[in-house]
Amino acid sequence: MSLFNRHKSEAPGGKPTTLPSDLQDETAKFKAIVNSIEDGVLLLDSQHTIQLINPGGATILGWKAEDATGIDIGNVMRLVNSKSEPVKEQDNPILQVFQTGQSGRSEVVLITPDKKQVPLNLRLSPLLGKNQEVKAVVVVFNNITAQQAEERQRADFISTASHEMRTPVAAIEGYLALALNEKVSTVDSRARNYLEKAHSSTQHLGKLFQDLLTSAKAEDGRLTSHPAVVEMGAFLEQLVDGFHLIAEKKGLFVEFSFGGSNTINATEAGTKVIKPLYYVYIDPDRLREVITNLFDNAVKYTPEGKITIGLTGNDSVVQMYVRDTGPGIPTEDIPHLFQKFYRVDNSATRTIGGTGLGLFICRKIIELYNGRIWAESKVGEGSSFYINLPRLSTQKASAMQAAASNSVSNPVNSVS
Ligand code: ADP
C-alpha cells in the first residue's frame, strides 16, 4: 500500500495515529500547519480584507495577528516604490490579482509601522468561483533582506574579480597586438597564426570580463549614467555609418530606415522632406553600447542578407529597432533572451562564441531610462529587437539643452 493510500487514522505499519487528540480534526491540523510556517500566509476576501494571517506573517509585517485580522490589506501591508513613495493601486501586485484572476510572483518593499523598509517576495494565488470570479486571494510571503544581501555580496565579488582580471588581460592583448604588428616585430607565418588565435581568444576574454563587470554594476544600480538630450535621428545615422564596414566584412548589407507616423514623405523631386526630431533623455554612451550590442548580435548570428536599423515613433514614444535576416529565435526562447547568461541552445550558438550577458545588459540600461526592450522573431525569417524610449517634445528638449549649456557657462548657477 502506498503512503498516500494508507487509511488516514493509521500510521505506517498499521499502528494507530500518534497525533494527540487536539490535533485530530481537520481545522486543528490546518491551524497547526499554518501557524508553524515561518513564511507569512494571508487569506484575503473579495473586499481585500484580511480574513486570516499566521503568526509568521504578522511578525514580518510588524503587526499583531489579532489586530491585522479584519483590516484592509492596503492598511497592513503598505508598499513603497524605489523612491520610497507609496505604490499606486494600479501597480499593487496584490490588487492586480483581484483584477486579473492570475496567480503570480512579485518582489516588493514593505514599510513597517516603525518605518523600516523590508524587501518581500510575494507568491499570489487567486481562489476562483464558478464564474471565474476572484472569491479570495492567498498571499504567501517572506522577508528577502538576507537573500538580497547575499546577491549583493556575490555581485561585489564578481565585479571586483572581473575588474582585477580585466587589467592583465588588457596588457596581454596589447602585447599580442604589438607582436602581430609588422612595424615593430618580426614573426614567421606559423607563429603569426598562433598569435592571431591567442589575440582573438584574449579579446573574447576581455569582453567577458567587461560584460561581467557591467552586468554586476547594472544589478546593484552602480551603472554610471550621464544623461543628456539626444536627437535620435542624427545619433543613429552617425552610428550606422560606422556599422557598414563591420557588416560588409561578412558580406552583409546594412540600411537605415527612417519612418515616423508624422514624417512628411515626399518622393517628388524638389519637395522638401521634413523629418520629425526624435528627442530622448539618455546617456549617449550607454545608448551606443545597447545599439552596438544589438547590431553585433545581428552580424554574429546572420550568415547572409540584410540588417536594418530603424527609427520611428509617435508623440510620446521613440522607437528604434535592429532587424536581421538571420536564422530567427524559437518562440519558447523569446521570453528568456534578456535574462542573465541565457543563450539559445542550437548549433549556431554552440559554434558562435558569446556570454549570454549582452541582452541582459541592454535591458538593464534601457530600463534605467524608463524604456522597454523586446524581441520578435520567426524561425527561418529573422529577428527584430525593439527599443521604446519616452519622447521629449522639441520644446522641452530645447529648454533642457539651454539649461544645460547655461549651467556649463555659469557653473555658479548650476544645480547638481
Ligand atoms: P551572446 O553573448 O550569447 O550573444 P546575448 O545576451 O547578446 O548573448 O544574446 C542571448 C542569446 O540570444 C544569444 O546566445 C542568441 O542565442 C540569441 N540571439 C541574440 N540576438 C540574436 C539574433 N540577432 N539572431 C538570433 N539569435 C540571437
What average pLDDT does this structure show over 222-234?
93
- Whose CA is closest to atom 19 on ligand 1? 297
Q: In angstroms, what is the span from residue 291 Cα to ligand 1's centroid?
A: 14
For residue 297, how far is its CA from the centre of ligand 1 (angstroms)? 6
Question: Which amino acid makes up residue 101?
Answer: G
Any atom of ligand 1 within 6 Å of the Cβ of 179: no
Q: Quick one: pLDDT at residue 152?
A: 83
| Centroid of ligand 1 to alpha carbon of 111 (angstroms) | 39
Q: For residue 354, how far is its CA from the centre of ligand 1 (angstroms)?
A: 8
Whole-number Å distance, alpha carbon 370 to ligand 1 midpoint, is 23
Nearest to 94 by CA among 72, 67, 119: 72
How does residue 21 score in pLDDT terms, banded at 50, 70 and 90? confident
Q: Is the dihedral of CA 253, 259, 265, 271 positive or negative?
A: negative
CA distance 23 to 36: 13
pLDDT digits (tens, 9 = 90+) for 240-279: 999 999 999 999 999 999 885 444 444 444 455 567 899 9
Q: Does ligand 1 lie within 6 Å of residue 359's CB atom?
A: yes
What pLDDT is attached to residue 352?
81
Task: Average the pLDDT over each of 79-83, 111-115, 322-326, 353-357 and give the range with the smallest value.
Answer: 353-357
The secondary structure element, H or E, covering residue 191 is helix 189-219
Question: What mean pLDDT value characterizes the chain?
Answer: 88
pLDDT for the residue numbered 353: 76
Expressed in angstroms and rounded, the spacing between residue 361 Cα and the centre of ligand 1 is 12
Q: Whose alpha carbon is nearest atom 11 of ligand 1?
A: 343
Nearest CA to ligand 1 atom 23: 298
Give the number of the atom of ligand 1 that is nearest the alpha carbon of residue 356: 8
Q: Which residues contact 225 (CB under 8 A, 6 or more apart)?
A: 283, 286, 368
Does the Cβ of 324 fall within 6 Å of ligand 1? Answer: yes
Q: Residue 118 — pLDDT band, cuts 50, 70, 90?
A: very high
Measured from the Cβ of residue 78, the count of other Cβ atoms closer than 10 Å reads: 15
> Would you place residue 194 in the very low, low, confident or very high pLDDT band (cuts 50, 70, 90)?
very high
Q: Is 377 in the pocket of ligand 1 (CB under 6 A)?
A: no
pTM value is: 0.69
Instruction: Kindly state if the Cβ of 215 falls inside 6 Å of ligand 1.
Output: no
pLDDT tier at 196, thresholds 50, 70, 90: very high
Confidence of residue 217 (pLDDT cuts 50, 70, 90): confident
Q: What is the pLDDT of residue 7?
A: 45
Distance in angstroms (rounded) separating the CA atoms of residues 151 and 360: 17
Q: Are 102 and 93 in contact (CB under 8 A)?
A: no
User: Contact at 8 Å (CB) between 237 and 379?
Assistant: no
Question: Does ligand 1 come within 6 angstroms of the Cβ of 308?
Answer: no
The answer to whether the CB of 212 falls within 8 A of the CB of 158 is yes
For ligand 1, whether the C-beta of 375 sits within 6 Å is no
| Number of the ligand 1 atom closest to the C-alpha atom of 342 | 10
Q: Residue 296 Cα, ligand 1 centroid: separation in angstroms? A: 10
From the CA of 357, give the closest atom in ligand 1. Answer: 6
At residue 64, φ and ψ (nearest 5 deg) are: -90, 140
Here the contacts of 368-372 (C-beta below 8 Å, separation 24 or greater) are 368/223, 368/225, 368/286, 369/227, 369/280, 369/281, 369/282, 369/283
Residue 163 has a pLDDT of 85
Distance 203 CA to ligand 1 centre (A): 18
Counting ligand 1 atoms within 8 A of each CB, the residue from 208, 343, 347 with the most, and so the one to mutate, is 343
Check: CB of residue 94 under 8 Å from CB of residue 42.
no
* Whether the predicted pLDDT of 16 surpasses 90: no
Region 50-55: what's the mean pLDDT? 96
Helices (H), strands (E): how many in the chain? 12, 13
Give the distance (Å) from ligand 1 centre to CA of residue 342.
8
- CA end-to-end distance (rounded Å), the chain: 74
42 and 49 in contact (C-beta within 8 Å)? no
What is the pLDDT at residue 272? 54
Instruction: Give the pLDDT score at 4.
Output: 40
How far does residue 349's CA lie from ligand 1's centre (Å)? Answer: 8
Cα gap 133→97, rounded to integer Å: 11
d(CA 38, CA 59): 9
pLDDT for residue 72 is more than 70: yes
Amino acid identity at 251:
G
